[in-house]
Structures are given as structure tokens and as C-alpha cells.
Structure 1
């Protein structure tokens, strides 16, 4: 492309400080450095974690640096590559990744985890491997959320934090595999390891929760109980495989007691997809003792989870998952293939499609419970 090696000026949604709406700005995106890829973003999902970074930032244990460009669930086309990049070429369709896969660290070499640690701490600071961002606005460095920033028409990412996908992939759908759908689907299949014929409970019916329901169904669960305080989501939950739906507001006693009664002692697998420490404890209490497995899927660093040792001593397992346990670079293209072969639902998650300059509206739809996933099309 004729922009190779040049600074690209484009539009992006910049969050200048926490608690205030983003503003659409002209930003400068520098050329990629060694082992980096510059991407023309085509579509981005709007994840609750993006909203939380902006509006819960003051309550968080760790404060993310502002100004910042949010967005981490995107897809696009490679514009140019930096020195040392051999796996990508201009024109490749790609998905940037919230979890890298360097293929060389002890974690990448282990089948026990997907949590590659290469450049991880820099990503959490909103910068790339050299400690800086590739995006500036009004003379200031703008940090890249998770080292990505998909609420920008162009971005630069590490070459171990992006994966190439098939040329015929539908970019305004497969972008959802960059975070929410992969996380929930993998939580059921890879982390919980839901068993055929089992009883599952899923707390929270946002995109992650619905993908978890889909994963439980794919694993062969006989009974999938979906729990949410918004009954408008129950119809969609049934589409993804829920056999029953429960609204805690419809009951006078704690929902864990209701679920234990419904399942004659507790569910075999319970997956928390809300990102709330109180709900995490409730999920654990909804597990069957002796063999029940509770998986924390929802992301938060607000608050601490507390529990009595007996909740675990009687045989329950409590575990967490990040990005659904997928080895990112190698797994996401396979999920794209599954979608293109109609083996995996993605279209059903999309409730709204908006332009970049309406990204704050997308946040409002998400917070009001009126959307599952809004797609921002560039």
C-alpha cells in the first residue's frame, strides 16, 4: 500500500479521562516497528470491559493510563508490517488478540494454559514491547487498550498478538471472536470441560454468557439453566441452547437456594459471566458438592471474592478462565472456520450496527441492557 512507512492520520474514539464520554479525534498512527503489524480496522465489537475501563476506572484496583483508545474485539486488514515480520503480508485479513501466543515461553509450550506472558505487562499498561504507543493525538501519546485499540481506523499491534484468518471471512462478524464469544464458548469447552448429560447453570446473559450457553450445548449438556435479572434476554438464551431461564427477582429467597432445589443438590457446572464478586460467590454456592465445578468467566478487578473453606473442602472446584483457554494464534482461525461452515453462531449475537462516531451510543445501549453486541463499522 502507498502508506507503507508513513504516518497515517485517521479517526479514533479517544477517552481522555475516566468517567467522561469518548470524543472522535484525528489521531496519528506511526508505522510499525520491528515485529509489529499495522492494521486497517474494519469492524469492532463493543465489549462490557471497554465500558468498565472508562466508567469504573476510579473504582479499580489498578488504574489504566489515560488518554486511551479503547476497543479490543476487532478485525481488519494488514496495511503494512515492520522489520522481522514473516507471517503477515499487506492485504491479509486478521484478528488482533487480547492474549498473545509467542510459541516460545514456558506457558506457550505447556498444554495447561493459554496465558502467554510475552509483553503481557506492557499490554496492561497500554503500550507495545518498547514501552510506547504507536498512536498520538494533539501531540500526546494515546495509550492502546490491551495493546490493541480497535476504536481507531488504524492501529499497530505486536506480531505475536494477531492471527491471520481466511480470505473469505466476514469481518463484521468474526471480530466477535477477538474476545466475548471465544471467551464464553471456550469457558465451557476448555476450562469447565462440560460433560455430556450434565446440568449447567450460566449466570449472566450478555455476549459472554450466551456464548457460554452455546458452549454448554456443544459439549452435550442435558440441562442448561440461564440466570439473568433482565428477562428480555431469555428468548435469545433459548436460541443458543438454554433449556430453562431464571430471574432472581422472581424469587423471595436467594437464587442459589432456588437453583440447588431445581437441580436436586446443585449443578454439575456453574459458570459466572457477570464480572461481579457477589455473583461469583453465588455461583459457587449453586454448585453440587463432591464434584461441582464453578468457573469465573466475567472479568473484574473491583472488589474481592470471599468464601468459607468448607465451600471447597466438600469437593467443589473453583477456577477461572481468560479468553476461554484458547491458544490464541492457532485456535481463532479454527473458530472462524467453524463460523464460516455454520458450525458456530455469530450473527445471532449482533443486535446493533453503528458508525465510529456513535460509539458512545453503543456504550449506552450496552449499559441499558438493550444490546448483546453492537458492531462498530469503520
Structure 2
């Protein structure tokens, strides 16, 4: 049945408020307006940022909302003046848009388009309205994507057409993989023969390991407290793994002793302030680069003496791995299809939408890497 121009009723996981489980509800998804795209979701990854919303670590999100921002699907219909995709195209929704017109989009040195919703947290489309309703109540969008639903609507600046043969695992390029991998190859610009340390061995951390390896790092140290993940880290590129629990002195001192004064590049993938400082302290005094990837809490503050930067150390953040989303996500998918990297390592469980709360519980326990919802 042709659904173009019609309201679609479908299932979605609704977040009604903080510290509450999601509930599976029937929602209504309105047709796309001008410069909007409606997508039938095939698969969606469950990311730590989604959990951060529920735990009030990523504050300011409006409820009720449909979370999820890491997906792959098929374009069901398009609104007026959409030219980037057509119905039937396989596509990845983008939580980092690329409008092509703002200052960020026009410079090669930035990828955080000014029309993003993860800093403004409006939870609405570009015209300040929602396309979702549930039980007669407006439901907010999340980071312009909202992928924990059978159908979603996104702005056309938040969608990338990808290879029609891309498997469902390609959804992980929509956040986790691109974030960690890009942090190494784009943000840090890891150099051949260099030393690296990756703090936090989840999906983003594992992806950073791959980026370090592909960039030619000579030594890559994985750091985490879940030692069951060490074999996979070694398989993906780590030359060795350390658990802070195994040492009587701070892990940064251990790493500095191992690397003649500190690593060249450190990647923080946990969101904990203490780990950010530990990663920074693990780098070499003269030129160490620390890249922060984790989402910190709203009241967290990072503090250190300016003298720690004076001799050449730097600390920087990285959003979506520095990738220009609409331009470069299709290229990442092509690289995946050409087996330049593998995404199977990230998928711990494939689950139905109805088990989404179980997936969040597994994430909180530290088990597995990424769970993906199959629709």
C-alpha cells in the first residue's frame, strides 16, 4: 500500500522521562514537509548517549521523546524540494547535519553544522513542530534522528544516501564507529610509528583502536577495567591492554614508564572527568595530544594548571570523528563494503524493539559492545 502523503501508524520506544524504562507504543508519524525525508528504519544501534539522556547526564532533552541516533533504513517518501535522496534509497540518518551554508560547513576545519539539534535540544523539526504523536500527545524528536521507531522523519540535511547493498551493521557508522575511528584519523591525525592509548574499550574505544592501527601507530595500548574485552582489543589493533585495577600506582604513571615519558596520542571514550585527566596525564609533556570523546555530566568540570599545556600538550574534543556527515558517511560505507574495516566486532546482540530495555541494562553492566535493534 502506498503510504506517500499519509500518516503512518507504527511502533516506537517512547522515553517518557528521566530514570524510567522505555515503553513500546503505537505512534503516528506525519508525512514529511518541504526539505524533509521519512525513513523506514531497518536497524538501529543503541548508544551510550541514549543512556546518558535517561540518566540525566545529557541534560536538556525534552520529554516525551523517541531516542536513537544510529540507524540505517529505506527512504519511504520525501517532501517538496528534496534532492539528496529519493524513495527506495538506502540511507543513514545523521545526528550531525551538513547544511552546506553555515560557517562550520564552509570551513574544512569543522564538521559541527550550526543547524544541529544536539546543542540546541529543541527536539523539533526545522519549522519548530514535531512529526510524532502518541495518544494524542506531541512526542519530541531527538538529535534530528529519533531511530527507536519503525518510521522516522528527518531534515534533508540530516540524511546520507548509501550503497543499496549495505548490511544492517552499517547503522553503526551513523555514530559509534565514525566517532572513534575519525577521532584517530581526522581529529588527532595519528602518525605512523607513534604511540597511542585508548581509555574505554566499548564500541567507540574499539573503533579508535582501528583508526590508530590504520593510521600506522606503532604501539597501541588499550585501557579498561573489563578484562574480558582485552582479546577483542588485541584482535582489532591494540598491542597490549592494561587494567588500572592491576597496579598499585596510577595507570598514567604506568603508561609513562612504559612509553619513555608518555604516549603521543590518548583517546578518552568513557565520559568520566577522572579518565579525561588520566588520559591527558598519560601523554608526553612536549607534544602529547588528548582527544575527548565521552559525554560528561552537566555539572562536571575539568581542571588543570595552564602550565601543563605550556610545553606543547593539547586537549581537544571530537564530534562524529570530525567527518562532514553528508559528504563522508557514504564514503565510510563504501570503505566498509570494500572490507577496509569490519563492523561485526561491534555487534553483541541483535534484538527486537520490544527488548530495548534489556539492551540498556546490558550496556550499564559493561557487557558486550553494541546491541542493535532489528525492525
Partner residue in 1 for 2:156: 159
TM-score (norm 2): 0.98
Cα distance in structure 1, aligned partners of 2:355 and 2:315? 39
Counterpart of 1:289 in structure 2 is: 285
Aligned to 1:51: 51
Alpha-carbon distance, 1:123 to partner = 6.1
Deviation digits for residues 313-347 of structure 1 (CA, Å, limit 9, x no counterpart): 12101111000000000101111011111111111
Measured in 2, the distance between the counterparts of 1:13 and 1:239 equals 35
2:62–2:121: 8 Å Cα contact kept in structure 1?
no
Equivalent residue, structure 1, for 2:181: 185
Per-residue CA deviation, residues 53-82 of structure 1 (Å, 9 max, x unaligned), is: 11x21x55x321111111100010000001
Q: TM-score, normalised by structure 1?
A: 0.97
* 2:135 matched residue in structure 1: 138
Q: Is 1:234 matched with 2:230?
A: yes
Among 342, 345, 351, the alignment partner of 1:345 is 342
Determine helix, strand or coil for the equivalent of 2:367.
coil
Contact 2:198–2:269 under 8 Å retained in 1: yes
Distance 2:368 2:324 in 1: 29
Deviation of 1:94 (Å): 0.1
Give the structure 2 partner of residue 204 of structure 1.
200
1:13 equivalent in structure 2: 13
After TM superposition, give the deviation of residue 277 of structure 1 in Å.
1.2
2:303 pairs with 1:280: no
| Mapping of residues 102-113 of structure 1, within 5 Å | 102-113=99-110
Would the alpha carbon gap of residues 121 and 236 (structure 1) be closer, same or farther in structure 2, given more than 3 Å must change? closer
Q: Is the 8 A contact 1:202 1:270 kept in 2?
A: yes
* Residues 343-375 of structure 1 deviation map (CA, whole Å, 9 limit, x = unaligned): 111111111100000000111111111120111
Aligned equivalent of 1:150: 147
> Partners in 1 of 2:149 and 2:230 — Cα distance?
33
Alignment of 1:98 onto 2:98? no
Secondary structure of the corresponding residue to residue 228 of structure 2: helix
2:211 aligned with 1:218, yes or no? no
* Alignment root-mean-square deviation, CA: 1.2
- Structure 2 CA distance, aligned partners of 1:289 and 1:335? 34
Supply the distance in 1 between the matched residues of 2:66 and 2:255 (Cα, whole angstroms). Answer: 41
**Partners of 1:36 and 1:158 within 8 A in 2:** yes
Match of 2:259 in 1: 263
Q: Write the distance in 2 (CA, Å) between the matches of 1:371 and 1:114.
A: 30
1:304 to 2:288 alignment: no
Q: CA deviation at 1:122?
A: 8.1
In the alignment, is the contact (CA less than 8 A) between 2:117 and 2:123 conserved in 1? no
8 Å Cα contact 1:122/1:128 also seen in 2: no
1:176 pairs with 2:172: yes
> Matches of 1:284 and 1:348 in 2, distance apart?
28
Instruction: Quote the residue 2:356 is aligned against.
Output: 359
* 1-structure distance, mates of 2:159, 2:242: 38
Partner of 2:246: 250
| Contact map agreement 2:60 2:121 (CA 8 A) in 1 | no
The count of corresponding residues between Structure 1 and Structure 2 is: 374
